[in-house]
Amino acid sequence: MQGKTLAQIYALVLGAVLVLVGILGFLVEPSFGIGDDAQRGTLIAFDINGWHNVVHLLSGVIGIAMAKTAASARMFAIGYGVVYLLVTVLGFIVGDGGLLLSIIPINTADNLLHLLIAVSGIAVGLASPATGGARGRTATV
């Protein structure tokens, strides 16, 4: 990972975790119900269903793909952070045990995790240069 920006590492690691969570989520709750028919399962402490798993998979694949360059990883970190800040606000409005967009089950644990992801994504994105190499700050792992 030498020569990668913090945003690139963030996008890659978060992307990989989201893909893994999406796959594991289908083992716990694969249903795609909507509204009153929406079912929910629990993975660790988080509410999930097929729709939630798809969101995790797609977000993860996008994160991994955008980790390739400093600029795209920075855009992912900030953009993902802003989107998840909105998701957090909506989640707290819907409340514990509610459904986002009538399809995605959400609970307080989800909301707190989404808030952590939002804040860390924005912070990492703003702290990372848009270009890698000698001119920008890079992480050495």
Asked whether 11 and 63 are in contact (CB, 8 A), the reply is: yes
Q: What pLDDT, in 10s, does the model give residues 28-82?
A: 999 999 888 888 999 999 999 999 999 999 999 999 999 999 999 999 999 999 9
**Quick one: average pLDDT of 11-37?**
95
Reading the block at residue 68, the tokens are: 């390739």
Asked whether 40 and 17 are in contact (CB, 8 A), the reply is: no
**H or E segment and range at residue 47:** strand 46-48
The model's pTM:
0.86
**Quick one: average pLDDT of 89-116?**
94
